[in-house]
Structure 1
Amino acid sequence: MIAAGSPSLFKGGKGCGACYEVKCDSNPACSGQPATVVITDECPAGVCLAEAAHFDMSGTSMGAMAKPGMADRLRAAGILKVQYKRVPCKYSGVNIAFRVDQGSNPFYFEVLVEFEDGDGDLSAVHLMEAGCSTWTPMVQNWGALWRYNSNTGKALRAPFSIRLTSDSGKVLVANNVIPASWKAGATYRSLVNYS
């Protein structure tokens, strides 16, 4: 389930999001049972910045905290106090995917890193072009988007391998994950994930 959160929850937007267990008991429709949400973005200003921790949850996420048959009532409650704790992200049976941004072209390449197990935070992303033996650092654009600009005036050579380094120091390589015939807007699934 998806949510946006205060900057302190999102931890600067690294990686593909931070996972939290959230639950409520301040409304009669609350089940008191935790639901896991993925913070995928920082929520807009206002109350999100005024509070140390604020979740701007999707309707599905709100409904997941409700007693059976009371999801609509809980969604209609508006702002609720929730209890929360950070948990590792778990995408059981799903490997990391790379969604190529619509603005990508032969000289500019940007990907969204999705479905990363573990702490959800990346400290570095590197790209290796076809025929190269060195990794080139990508720059975090915002959120889980990482980009590489060819400053040489030469077109980038695919297929691309992508190397991810988590905040905890774990390194994961998705070899040739972006094919030579890549398309802007397409998603390419790797054969790997953090365990």
Structure 2
Amino acid sequence: MASSFSILLVVVTLVALLAVVSCGTDFTVHIEKGSCPTKLSLVTNVEVSEVEIREKGSNDFLECKGSGTKWTLESKEPLKGPFAVRLTLKNGGYRVDDAAIPEEWKADSVYKTKIEV
């Protein structure tokens, strides 16, 4: 028969595993040095299939070019923040944060979104 200590150890281990599995990773966006009003160069903390940006006042998302964790959006006109971010995950699902990057963003800054992946 198992001792009460062994049973307690199994229960604690299962609870710990469930806590880790249920916690998502906060999605962050690092705006790289060299970004300017007409170009956003982004590095994400997790690999995704697609990143899209929506400017303030727009109904449409603009597709960033890149793959994995490195993405770029270039425009002939200055981009207007704050920016919404929509990403497509590797499993096909997508997530949106309507105010992921602030209006007064800065190059070489990291922004934590409301998205968990």
- Could you give the per-residue CA deviations for residues 112-163 of structure 1, whole angstroms, max 9, x where no partner exists? 111x4xxxx42211110011000110000x651100010xx31000001111
Within the candidate set 94, 99, 105, 1:171 is matched to: 94
Q: Which residue of 2 aligns with 1:28?
A: none
Separation in structure 1 between the aligned mates of residue 48 and residue 25 of structure 2, nearest angstrom: 18
Task: Give 4+ residue runs of structure 1 displaced > 3 Å after superposition.
Answer: none
Within the candidate set 28, 32, 40, 1:109 is matched to: 40
Separation in structure 1 between the aligned mates of residue 64 and residue 35 of structure 2, nearest angstrom: 14
SS of residue matched to 1:190? strand
Matched residue type, 1:170 = G
Number of residue pairs matched by the alignment: 97
Superposition RMSD on alpha carbons, in Å? 1.9
Q: Which residue of 1 aligns with 2:69?
A: 144
Shift of 1:94: 4.3
Q: Which residue of 2 aligns with 1:69?
A: none
SS of residue matched to 1:133? coil
State whether structure 2 residue 28 is matched by structure 1 residue 97. yes
State whether structure 2 residue 104 is matched by structure 1 residue 192. no
Shift of 1:192: 1.7
Q: Is the 8 A contact 2:31 2:43 kept in 1?
A: yes
SS of residue matched to 1:191? strand
| Structure that is richer in helix per residue | 2
**Which residues of structure 1 form unaligned runs of 5+?**
1-89
TM-score by length of 1: 0.46
Q: Is the 8 A contact 2:51 2:85 kept in 1?
A: yes
Greater length-normalized contact order (CA 8 Å, ≥ 6 residues apart):
2
Q: Which residue of 2 aligns with 1:157?
A: 80
TM-score by length of 2: 0.75
Separation in structure 1 between the aligned mates of residue 91 and residue 98 of structure 2, nearest angstrom: 21
